[in-house]
Amino acid sequence: MQAEQTQTKHAKLTTVWIIFPLTAVVYTIYKFTTADAQYRNIIPSFGLISTYAVMVVMEAFFKYEKGVKQTKFLLRDVSSNVVHMFVTGPVGRIFMVPAIAYVLQETLGRGLIFAERTDAGPIWLQSILVFLFYSLMRYSVHYYQHHNKYLWELHSYHHAVSDIQTSNTLVSHPLDYFLRNILPPIILGLMGFHLSAIVIATTIIGTFSVFSHCGAGLHAGWLSHIFVTPELHRWHHSAIVPEGHKHSVNYGVGVILWDRVFGTYYLPTKNGVPLQPEHLGHPSGYSDEPNYLKFFFLTRYWSDSMKFWKKREGTSAE
């Protein structure tokens, strides 16, 4: 009887290890094969919304044992998603791309690095280069969002969430979101890389970036050696920073490569199974903010700003 229970447990564990990698890989392939589909061009943010749908189903069927209910934050989450999908992203691209392109054309008369889209080599080589540059840029921005005082004040609202779930994937201040998600691909295009190479690399990284916020209780298996999986990303959101690390761990966005290179990778295991942090949340103890307007206007820091200006006024009076 005990042998049968053990066998059943191992079979279930093996199944759970397979589901997340299989879903993530199959969905990435699906995004490539439907890249030119008309409905994807008609429906705004179709790629992100459909990814969300897959993640929500996974969360419903595979509950995470340490999960924390996020119902009271639903309005905040919906507001944040709407702002970034339909305002921050589109508006950022509309204003930034022409402005930077105009400056480059007027000063250099060409792309920032490559004069022609074919100068960087064949598409397969450009895809690899873009993959490396793009993942490094997102890692670097994310790293400094934790190490720079002012960038952290913006980014820290995202770290107040008490559980990573599909709904709070885009919970970020607009400027914080723009720096990490909108600016890097714009820079890639202006550098002069071929559009096809950019689409290939950013689709892979972007898909796994979104999947890293899936709140399902699934093991990612071999994916955690290459991509940022929920098991890795929960440690990035841990309320207690792992020993030996100053601000956080696993800064990679979509890809874990640069965490390996710079020593910020962290995923402890026990008997071959990844361990997960006990609690997620702001490392300084700030509670999650359910009001998006307070979130947007950074009200948490108003009192500190008032103290700063009063102190300056007092110094000037002396």
Read off the pLDDT of residues 260-312 as tens digits, 9 standing for 90 and up.
999 999 999 988 889 999 999 999 888 899 999 888 888 877 765 554 444 54
User: Residue 26 — very low, low, confident or very high, per pLDDT cuts 50/70/90?
Assistant: confident
Residue type (1 letter), 40: R
**Token pair of 315, please?**
């110094």
Mean pLDDT of the chain: 82
DSSP, collapsed to helix, strand or coil, labels residue 240 as coil
Is the model's pLDDT at 243 over the cut of 50? yes
Residue from 226, 313, 243, 316 nearest 277 by CA = 243
Domain boundaries, the chain: 2-308
Residue from 44, 197, 210 nearest 138 by CA = 210
**Highest mean predicted confidence (pLDDT) among 33-42, 47-56, 143-152:** 143-152
Is the model's pLDDT at 108 over the cut of 80? no
More confident residue, 93 or 54: 54
Max Cα separation, the chain?
83
Is the model's pLDDT at 250 over the cut of 60? yes
Is the model's pLDDT at 98 over the cut of 90? no
Query: Phi-psi category of 254—alpha, beta or left, where left has phi over 0 and alpha has psi -120 to 50?
Result: left
Residue type (1 letter), 54: V
The DSSP 8-state label assigned to residue 227 in this structure reads: B
Residue recorded with tokens 């993959």? 131
Q: What is the pLDDT of residue 5?
A: 47
User: Residue 138 — very low, low, confident or very high, per pLDDT cuts 50/70/90?
Assistant: very high
pLDDT digits (tens, 9 = 90+) for 158-172: 999 999 999 999 999
d(CA 301, CA 176): 15
Cβ-contact 194, 117 below 8 angstroms: yes
pLDDT digits (tens, 9 = 90+) for 171-182: 999 989 988 888
